A = this chain, B = another copy of it.
């Protein structure tokens, strides 16, 4: 089985791949968009993409790509505990660190630690935590923030473990494929309401009247004008689900079922 992910080796997506199926052949991509495109090109059988972090919120590139894709379905969700660690080529004291490299989300998740301990360090944003580890390997007095597996992968010393501000830091990944799953208790969908007052209230009424519990609702701008949104929802499937979908088709101006899993 060929499994696509957002590379390079050592990213949290890579960790998620290993947790999901360590016997799969892992295929690296440069961006989330390219990873999902790998399915349409038949380069891979399945892909793994981050969909939401418990602190930073939805992963916008994934959501936007799913809004604009067809016949891509969720097979499974995987949740990974996220720990961020300060690492460098030597075990420096904190006051010896002049620069930090990491991904913007990791930097945001360690904002409190940085403001308290590394206030004067220059901050450099790069496109993945793994890339930040690679970047600092040959630089003195420069640290990265990345996951522990990068210390082995890039031969780095660990200066501080678990520097994230909030220990309830988890990322949810979805395994996507071109095959539609047909059973499961959970469903995810994306809808857009009509542009009339009370439209969202009316749509939520359909779930309520059919006793369908929403476990998540998240907004994404429709990119047309302010105030127009897509909503990504997760729900618990019950016997009314087909009836509810028919009602949603009438009430929404856009509806995409991402799968039952």
| A interface residues with partner B (beta carbon < 8 Å) | 33, 52-57, 60-61, 79, 104, 108, 111, 123-127, 166, 168, 170, 172, 197-198, 200-201, 204-205, 207-208, 213-221, 223-227, 229, 234
Q: Which residue, of A52, A55, A215, has the highest number of chain B Cβ atoms within 10 A?
A: A55
B226 and A172 within 8 A (CB)? yes
**Contact (A108, B216) CB under 8 Å given A168-B223, A221-B55:** no
Q: Which residues of B contact A168 (CB under 8 A)?
A: 223-225
**Contact (A227, B215) CB under 8 Å given A111-B33, A125-B126, A126-B125:** yes
Q: Which residue, of A123, A170, A227, has the highest number of chain B Cβ atoms within 10 A?
A: A227
Contact of A57 among B33, B52, B111, B221 (CB under 8 A): B221
A52 and B226 within 8 A (CB)? yes
A57 and B220 within 8 A (CB)? yes
B200 and A204 within 8 A (CB)? yes
Q: Which residues of B contact A127 (CB under 8 A)?
A: 123, 125
Q: Which residues of B contact A170 (CB under 8 A)?
A: 226
Q: Which residues of B contact A61 (CB under 8 A)?
A: 108
